[in-house]
C-alpha cells in the first residue's frame, strides 16, 4: 500500500474551478467527494485557504470539516508527477501554501491519506482578521 493514496483539492482545482483544467492535465484516475478536518477561509485574492484542525467528534459533513475532492492516481509515479506540476501553481516554493499529508474521509466513510495544500496554522490570526471564514467548509459557491 502506498504511504499516500492521492491528493485532496478544495478550491480552484475542483471541478468547475478556474484551475480544474490544470488538474485534468495531470491525468488523475478519478475524483470522489471527500472531507478533511479543518477550517476554510475565502481570501480577498479570490481563492480559499485551509487550516488543518482536530478531527470533529461527528463524521462529515458538518462543523470542522472541509469539503473537496479526493483525486486518485494510477501509481506513486503519476502522483509525484502531478504534484511537481501543481506545486508551482499553488505557490509552494514561495511559501504561499505548504503541502502536507492529512487523513481524508470519503463519501461512505472510507479513510485514506492524501496530500493537501494548506495555510500554516501560524497564519490563522491573519486569516481570522482579513478573510471570510466559510463555516460550512465548502468553497463551491465560489467555483
* Ramachandran bin of 113, using left for φ above 0, alpha for ψ from -120 to 50, beta for the remaining angles: beta
Contact between residue 5 and residue 31 where contact means Cβ atoms under 8 Å apart? no
Element (H, E) at 24: helix 20-24
Return the C-alpha cell found at 7.
491528493
Instruction: Tell me the per-residue pLDDT of 79-95, one tens digit each, with 9 for 90 and over.
Output: 999 999 999 999 999 99
pLDDT score, position 90? 95
With a threshold of 0.85, does the pTM exceed it?
Answer: yes
| SS3 annotation, 73-122 | CCCHHHHHHHHHHHHHHCCCCCCCCEEEEEEEEECCCCEEEEEEEECCHH
* Structural domains of the chain sorted by starting position, each given as residue range(s) with its CATH number in brackets: 6-142 (3.10.490.10)
In the predicted model, is pLDDT for residue 113 greater than 90? yes
Amino acid at each position: 500500500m502506498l504511504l499516500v493514496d492521492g491528493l485532496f483539492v478544495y478550491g480552484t482545482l475542483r471541478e468547475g474551478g478556474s484551475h480544474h483544467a490544470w488538474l485534468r492535465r495531470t491525468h488523475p484516475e478519478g475524483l470522489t467527494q471527500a472531507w478533511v478536518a479543518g477550517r476554510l477561509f475565502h481570501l480577498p485574492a479570490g481563492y480559499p485557504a485551509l487550516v488543518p484542525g482536530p478531527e470533529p467528534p461527528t463524521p462529515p459533513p458538518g462543523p470542522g470539516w472541509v469539503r473537496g475532492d479526493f483525486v486518485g492516481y494510477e501509481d506513486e509515479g503519476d502522483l509525484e508527477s502531478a504534484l511537481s506540476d501543481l506545486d508551482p501553481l499553488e505557490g509552494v516554493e514561495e511559501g504561499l501554501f505548504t503541502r502536507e499529508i492529512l487523513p481524508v474521509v470519503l463519501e461512505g466513510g472510507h479513510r485514506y491519506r492524501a496530500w493537501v495544500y494548506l495555510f500554516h496554522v501560524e497564519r490563522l490570526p491573519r486569516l481570522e482578521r482579513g478573510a471570510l471564514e466559510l463555516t460550512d467548509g465548502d468553497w463551491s459557491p465560489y467555483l
